[in-house]
């Protein structure tokens, strides 16, 4: 990893640039696929699946027989691990439930807010180089807790036209109502428009490559909501000489192996420690099955040396990491003051992998600096807040004159009349 020693603040933006393509680079391709799927439905979906995934499918929907067969083929120890992770994710997300909020704003005027589930949601589960069945848990569990009626899962098929057994097992375990063998841009388009096989949904969730990320953003132009712009994975570690260099290196590599377009950054107040981490990265890299992919990501990554924690915090907030690990002699300083991060991992014994799989927090998080404005997926992501109000006769007498004055001042006579008619009837 390239070491950058005490960069000037005006250079931070350039140094922290992500290794991703801009929307302009791939938007034309996405729009073409969207237009074709809108016009041709399943026919277009199958054609693009053949082109992009190199497999010809007769049926896009996963059958019950395929789901049952997959469940049999998943090893018992892995099933137990999946069930443990599901249990912790359920505990954390059930705890996010809120009760009805009710208040009388003035005599006779009652207002309240309730949560209602989004009825139809689409879950995108990446396949590609690593079928992320853990993402099924992260999305389907809160969707089920929220009470979503339709939970449609899309995931790209392999060369045999199948979805990974672990994805199918996790999907049926967590209450997914329909599973579709479709990935990439065409999956997002299918969820946005609906086809003969793919139900149209109201909101699309899930991470993906840069094409999927742009496709989700394009989907919003057609009235479909998305969880967030979640693209290639990223991690920033803040560590000083009190941290364990081997642990830090393993965390950096755990994100680097996601893909060649992933990025990891180490920020440290100790150049000597940073050099130790670099040595450990090179040592551990040799033993990884996905060595080449991780190595490419490491080439996109860097180590930044700063003089003090205050400078480090300002730099980290400027970057807005998806995952943020802090392992220093004063973790509380960063925990108490960090403003922009998707999820925070504290101390030497809290690897980012824990949040990816089994601690209970959600791993679907904002990337590419979007943690400055977006939250990671949570129970509220699958719900809407609806407000209600009920006004009694005394209530409209109390609040009515103010409404009349405001409506008249805005030049909206019909608004005023809606109150005036009622007040006259009550005279």
Statement: residue 128 has pLDDT above 70: no
Catalytic residue among 93, 280, 323, 352: 323
Statement: residue 29 has pLDDT above 70: yes
- Residue 230: per-residue pLDDT: 74
Statement: residue 20 has pLDDT above 70: no
Determine the Cα–Cα distance for residues 92 and 81; give it in Å rounded to an integer: 17
- Residue 18: per-residue pLDDT: 85
- Residue 259: per-residue pLDDT: 75
Is residue 93 part of the annotated active site? The answer reads no
Positions at the binding site for NAD(+): 124, 186, 209
Element (H, E) at 8: none
- Residue 348: per-residue pLDDT: 97
Is residue 16 classed as helix, strand or coil in its secondary structure?
Answer: coil
Determine the Cα–Cα distance for residues 125 and 132; give it in Å rounded to an integer: 6
- Residue 22: per-residue pLDDT: 63
Q: For strand 383-391 and strand 109-117, is the pairing parallel, antiparallel, or unpaired?
A: antiparallel
What is the CB neighbour count within 10 angstroms for residue 208?
A: 26
Burial status of residue 354 (CB atoms within 10 A of its CB: 0-12, 13-18, 19 or more): middle
Distances in whole angstroms, Cα of residue 248 to Cα of each of 235, 252, 349, 350: 11, 6, 10, 11
Token pair 């967030």 is at which residue?
Answer: 228
Statement: residue 76 has pLDDT above 90: yes
- Span 147-159, pLDDT tens digits: 999 999 999 999 9
Of 127 and 339, more confident: 339
34 backbone dihedrals φ, ψ, rounded to 5°: -60, -45
Rounded to 10 degrees, the C-alpha dihedral 101/102/105/110 comes to 140
- Residue 129: per-residue pLDDT: 64
Q: What's the mean pLDDT in 13-38?
A: 87
Statement: residue 201 has pLDDT above 90: yes
Which domains can be identified in the chain, with CATH numbers?
2-20+232-360 (3.40.50.1980), 23-101+115-229 (3.40.50.1980), 392-425 (1.20.5.1300)
- Residue 300: per-residue pLDDT: 81
Positions at the binding site: 124, 186, 209, 233, 255, 258, 323, 356, 410, 415
Is residue 323 part of the annotated active site? The answer reads yes
Distances in whole angstroms, Cα of residue 223 to Cα of each of 216, 217, 220: 11, 11, 5
- Residue 269: per-residue pLDDT: 98
pLDDT grade for 261, boundaries at 50, 70 and 90: confident
Catalytic residue among 322, 363, 404, 408: 322
pLDDT grade for 231, boundaries at 50, 70 and 90: confident
**Range of weakest confidence among 200-214, 259-273, 289-303, 313-327:** 289-303
Statement: residue 189 has pLDDT above 70: yes
- Residue 1: per-residue pLDDT: 83
Statement: residue 239 has pLDDT above 70: yes
State percent of the chain over pLDDT 90.
Answer: 86
Distances in whole angstroms, Cα of residue 245 to Cα of each of 233, 257, 271, 296, 326: 22, 18, 12, 21, 13
pLDDT grade for 21, boundaries at 50, 70 and 90: low
**Range of weakest confidence among 75-84, 203-212, 387-396:** 203-212
């Amino acid at each position: 990893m390239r070491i950058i020693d005490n960069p000037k603040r005006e250079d931070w933006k350039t140094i922290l640039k992500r290794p991703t393509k801009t929307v302009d680079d791939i938007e034309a391709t996405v729009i073409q696929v969207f237009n074709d799927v809108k016009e041709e439905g399943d026919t277009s979906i199958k054609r693009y699946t053949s082109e992009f995934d190199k497999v010809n499918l007769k049926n896009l929907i996963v059958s019950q027989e395929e789901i049952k067969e997959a469940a049999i083929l998943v090893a018992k120890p892995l099933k137990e691990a999946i069930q443990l992770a599901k249990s912790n994710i359920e505990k954390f997300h059930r705890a996010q439930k809120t009760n009805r909020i009710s208040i009388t704003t003035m005599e006779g005027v009652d207002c309240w807010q309730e949560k209602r589930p989004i009825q139809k949601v689409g879950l995108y589960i990446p396949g590609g180089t690593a079928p992320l069945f853990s993402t099924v848990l992260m999305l389907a569990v809160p969707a089920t807790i929220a009470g979503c009626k339709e939970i449609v899962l899309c995931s790209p098929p392999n060369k045999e036209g199948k979805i990974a057994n672990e994805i199918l097992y996790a999907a049926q375990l967590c209450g997914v109502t329909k599973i579709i063998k479709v990935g990439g841009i065409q999956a997002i388009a299918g969820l946005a428009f609906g086809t003969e096989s793919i139900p149209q949904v109201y909101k699309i969730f899930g991470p993906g490559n840069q094409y999927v990320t742009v496709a989700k953003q394009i989907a919003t132009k057609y009235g479909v909501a998305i969880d967030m712009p979640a693209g290639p994975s990223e991690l920033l570690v803040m560590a000083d000489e009190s941290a364990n260099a081997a642990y830090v290196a393993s965390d950096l590599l755990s994100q680097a192996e996601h893909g060649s377009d992933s990025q990891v950054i180490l920020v440290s107040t100790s150049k000597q420690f940073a050099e130790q981490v670099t040595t450990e990265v090179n040592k551990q890299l040799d033993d990884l099955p996905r060595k080449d992919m991780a190595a490419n990501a490491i080439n996109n990554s860097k180590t930044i040396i700063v003089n003090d924690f205050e400078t480090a915090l300002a730099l980290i907030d400027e970057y807005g990491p998806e995952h943020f690990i802090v392992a220093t002699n004063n973790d509380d300083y960063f925990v108490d003051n960090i403003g922009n991060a998707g999820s925070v991992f504290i101390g030497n014994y809290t690897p980012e992998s824990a949040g990816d799989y089994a601690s209970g927090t959600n791993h679907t998080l904002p990337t590419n600096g979007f943690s400055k404005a977006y939250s990671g997926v949570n129970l509220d992501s699958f719900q809407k807040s609806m407000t209600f109000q009920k006004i009694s006769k005394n209530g409209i007498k109390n609040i009515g004159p103010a409404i009349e004055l405001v409506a008249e001042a805005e030049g909206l006579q019909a608004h005023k009349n809606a109150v005036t008619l009622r007040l006259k009837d009550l005279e």
